[in-house]
Amino acid sequence: MKAPLALSLLVFTRNSYETLPHLLATTQWASERVIVDMKSTDGTAELCEAAGCRVISIDPTFSVDAIRNSYLEEAALEWMLVLDSDEYLSADAPEEFTTLVERHGEAFDAFALPRYNTIAGQVVQGGQFYPDHQVRLFRKGFVRWHDGHHHPPEVLGGRLMLLEPPCVHIHHRNYPDLQSFIERQLRYALTDSYDADPASFDFSDYVGQAYAAFAQRHDSSRDGELSTALATVLAWDRIMRGLIHWERTGRAAPLDEAFTLPIVAQRYPAAARRRIQTESLLGRLYLGLPGPLRGLIRRVRSLLGRFNRRG
């Protein structure tokens, strides 16, 4: 068997005692394991130290992406692996990573790994929950994260390889139940960053995103009723974000474009289903337009709205 690839593992933790054993057990082969712990009170830091990890203590923050870049330099080796505290790897990961870098390390600086997501005890296969590629294995200095939640990192130079199954996977035990999923989405929405310029806000953008989110995430043929529940939560997540953004920009913009029931069901009257399907398609088309063109459309709609209200 080949010697494992020499790499540095970086993990951020916050009261992660329950999920960490899987991660620690499946990364014992890593040459260096750096844990950035946000003042855990459940024994997380002590668990990591006992496992031979180097622990760095920092103040708590909910948005890990915003601070991740500051600790990439803590890694001592050329290749890095970044995992979340509720993720773990399969037993063949060290050999797979070694082969991957030997074969493709000259041509690529980063690799996007597929990820299995377990929600409410079920591995979710459809609705973009799989393969859910994550840029986690990369050459030090070639990946940079941005502020906010769950935005894909930037690969500096663009030399990214997207791995397709069969290949090594990340295993992610996301949420133990639906309530945890809902609570986390709300926290993400409340702690995310929003453009403070009132001119940037148009509630119809969020309504379009809600329809698109439901259409993209709903796949009951693969995931049953859980798919419907998750898609509904993620659709309403866009509406909640729209209302948060509206309040943070002064509550001046009209909300009369809102049709905030982004749910498609066969039992709805035919006319309602057509309207929902049309709105979903238009929302997706709108989101695919270049930023300047979307801005122009928002300004025209705003002017028309003011004219209609005056009339």
How are the residues of the chain apportioned to helix, strand and coil, as percentages rounded to the nearest 5? Answer: 45, 20, 40
Closest CA to 144 of 74, 70, 38, 33: 70
Evaluate if residue 310 carries a pLDDT over 80. no
- Residue 168 and residue 216 in one domain: no
Predicted TM-score (pTM) above 0.85: no
Please indicate, yes or no, if residue 185 is contained in any of the structural domains: no
For residue 236, what pLDDT is reported? 92
Closest CA to 56 of 32, 43, 39: 39
- Residue 305 and residue 205 in one domain: yes
For residue 308, what pLDDT is reported? 46
- Residue 146 and residue 212 in one domain: no
What whole-number distance in Å separates Cα of residue 44 and Cα of residue 21?
10
Evaluate if residue 16 carries a pLDDT over 60. yes
Instruction: Name the residue range of residue 80's domain.
Output: 7-174
For residue 64, what pLDDT is reported? 81
- Residue 37 and residue 170 in one domain: yes
Count of C-beta atoms within a 10 Å radius of residue 239: 20
- Residue 38 and residue 143 in one domain: yes
What whole-number distance in Å separates Cα of residue 270 and Cα of residue 221?
22
- Residue 231 and residue 119 in one domain: no
- Residue 138 and residue 86 in one domain: yes
Pairing of strands 154-155, 160-162: unpaired
The helix or strand, by DSSP H or E, that contains position 165, with its residue range, turns out to be none
Query: Cβ distance 223 to 124 under 8 Å?
Result: yes
Please indicate, yes or no, if residue 155 is contained in any of the structural domains: yes
Token representation of residue 99: 């082969």
Please indicate, yes or no, if residue 259 is contained in any of the structural domains: yes
Per-residue pLDDT band for 151 (boundaries 50, 70, 90) equals confident
Q: Positive or negative, the Cα torsion across 88, 92, 97, 98?
A: positive
- Residue 213 and residue 275 in one domain: yes
CATH number of the CATH domain containing 80 = 3.90.550.10
Please indicate, yes or no, if residue 180 is contained in any of the structural domains: no
What are the start-end ranges of the H helices in the chain? 20-25, 44-50, 65-68, 93-104, 178-191, 203-217, 220-248, 270-287, 291-310
What whole-number distance in Å separates Cα of residue 74 and Cα of residue 83?
15
- Residue 58 and residue 153 in one domain: yes
Mean pLDDT of the chain, nearest integer: 86
Please indicate, yes or no, if residue 280 is contained in any of the structural domains: yes
89 φ/ψ sector (left φ>0, alpha ψ -120 to 50, else beta): beta
Per the listing, tokens 């973009």 go with: 128
Please indicate, yes or no, if residue 189 is contained in any of the structural domains: no
Share of the chain above pLDDT 70, in %: 82
- Residue 14 and residue 145 in one domain: yes
Domain C-terminal end among 174, 204, 237: 174
How is residue 200 annotated by DSSP?
A: G
- Residue 37 and residue 157 in one domain: yes
Count of domains forming the chain:
2
Query: Cβ distance 203 to 255 under 8 Å?
Result: yes
For residue 149, what pLDDT is reported? 75
Domain C-terminal end among 145, 174, 203: 174
Query: Cβ distance 283 to 212 under 8 Å?
Result: yes
- Residue 214 and residue 165 in one domain: no
For residue 18, what pLDDT is reported? 94
Q: Positive or negative, the Cα torsion across 18, 22, 23, 29?
A: positive
Residue of higher predicted confidence among 78 and 294: 78
Mean pLDDT of 24-35: 97
Please indicate, yes or no, if residue 72 is contained in any of the structural domains: yes
Please indicate, yes or no, if residue 199 is contained in any of the structural domains: yes
